Structure 1
Amino acid sequence: MSSNVTAVSYGLKLSLPDVQRLRSLLTAAGLAVDAETRTGDGRFEVYTADCVLESGAGADTDARLEELRRSVAGSGVDGVDTALVPAALRTAPRKFLIMDVDSTLIQQEVIELLAAYAGKREEVTAVTEAAMRGELDFAQSLHARVAVLAGLPADVVDAVRAEVRLTDGAAELVAAFKAAGHAVAVVSGGFNQILRPIAEGLGLHYWIANELEIVDGALTGKVIGDVIDRAAKEKYLREWAAAEGIPMEHTVAVGDGANDLDMLGAAGIGIAFNAKPAVQAAADAAVNLPFLDAVRYIAGV
Structure 2
Amino acid sequence: MQPTAFIVFYSAVSPCIEPASLRQTLAAAGHEVLSEQEFAGPGRSGSRWEVTGSVRQLRALVNPLDAIYARSEDPVLRGTSLTVVPAELVRAKKMLLVMDVDSTLIKQEVIELLAAHAGREAEVAAVTESAMRGELDFAASLHARVATLAGLDAHVIDAVRARLELSDGAADLVKSFKEAGHHVAVVSGGFAQILDPLAADLGLDRARANDLVILDGQLTGKVNGEVVDRACKEVMLRTWARELGVEMEHTIAAGDGANDLDMVGAAGLGVAFNAKPLLRDAADARIDLPRLDIIANLVGLL
- For 1:31 and 1:38, the matched residues in 2 are separated by 20
Shift, 1:244, TM fit: 1.2
Given the two structures, how large is their TM-score scaled by the length of structure 1?
Answer: 0.93
Structure 1 equivalent of residue 182 of structure 2 = 182
- For 1:12 and 1:19, the matched residues in 2 are separated by 13
Structure 2 equivalent of residue 141 of structure 1 = 141
SS at match of 1:159: helix
Residue 3 (structure 1) aligned with residue 3 (structure 2): yes
- For 1:165 and 1:296, the matched residues in 2 are separated by 20
Shift, 1:39, TM fit: 1.8
Shift, 1:30, TM fit: 5.4
Shift, 1:19, TM fit: 5.1
- For 2:28 and 2:184, the matched residues in 1 are separated by 36
Cα distance change, pair 28–71 in 1 and its aligned pair in 2 (3 A) = farther
- For 1:43 and 1:206, the matched residues in 2 are separated by 29
Given the two structures, how large is their TM-score scaled by the length of structure 2?
Answer: 0.92
Do 2:39 and 2:297's aligned partners in 1 also have CA atoms closer than 8 Å?
no
Do 1:185 and 1:207's aligned partners in 2 also have CA atoms closer than 8 Å?
yes
Counterparts of residues 106-255 of structure 1 (less than 5 Å):
106-255=106-255
Do 1:25 and 1:72's aligned partners in 2 also have CA atoms closer than 8 Å?
no
Shift, 1:16, TM fit: 6.5
Residue 50 (structure 1) aligned with residue 50 (structure 2): yes
The count of corresponding residues between Structure 1 and Structure 2 is 294
Q: Deviations along 1:228-284, whole A, 9 cap, x unmatched?
A: 000000001001001111110000111000000000000000000000011110000
Do 2:133 and 2:257's aligned partners in 1 also have CA atoms closer than 8 Å?
yes
- For 2:16 and 2:41, the matched residues in 1 are separated by 17
- Tell me, which stretches of 5 or more residues in structure 1 are unaligned? 54-60
Structure 2 equivalent of residue 57 of structure 1 = none
Do 2:191 and 2:209's aligned partners in 1 also have CA atoms closer than 8 Å?
yes
Cα distance change, pair 216–69 in 1 and its aligned pair in 2 (3 A) = farther
Amino acid paired to 1:18: E
- For 1:29 and 1:124, the matched residues in 2 are separated by 50
Do 2:147 and 2:222's aligned partners in 1 also have CA atoms closer than 8 Å?
yes
Do 1:253 and 1:267's aligned partners in 2 also have CA atoms closer than 8 Å?
yes
- For 2:200 and 2:62, the matched residues in 1 are separated by 36
- For 1:149 and 1:243, the matched residues in 2 are separated by 35
Match of 1:67 among 41, 44, 60: 60
- For 1:28 and 1:137, the matched residues in 2 are separated by 46
Do 1:261 and 1:279's aligned partners in 2 also have CA atoms closer than 8 Å?
yes
Amino acid paired to 2:45: E
Amino acid paired to 1:90: V
Cα distance change, pair 290–16 in 1 and its aligned pair in 2 (3 A) = closer
Structure 2 equivalent of residue 58 of structure 1 = none
RMSD: 1.8
Cα distance change, pair 286–193 in 1 and its aligned pair in 2 (3 A) = same
Do 2:189 and 2:227's aligned partners in 1 also have CA atoms closer than 8 Å?
yes
Cα distance change, pair 120–173 in 1 and its aligned pair in 2 (3 A) = same
Do 2:94 and 2:182's aligned partners in 1 also have CA atoms closer than 8 Å?
yes
Cα distance change, pair 15–171 in 1 and its aligned pair in 2 (3 A) = closer
Amino acid paired to 1:198: L
Amino acid paired to 1:118: A
- For 1:235 and 1:33, the matched residues in 2 are separated by 37
Do 2:237 and 2:263's aligned partners in 1 also have CA atoms closer than 8 Å?
yes
Residue 104 (structure 1) aligned with residue 97 (structure 2): no
- For 2:87 and 2:128, the matched residues in 1 are separated by 37
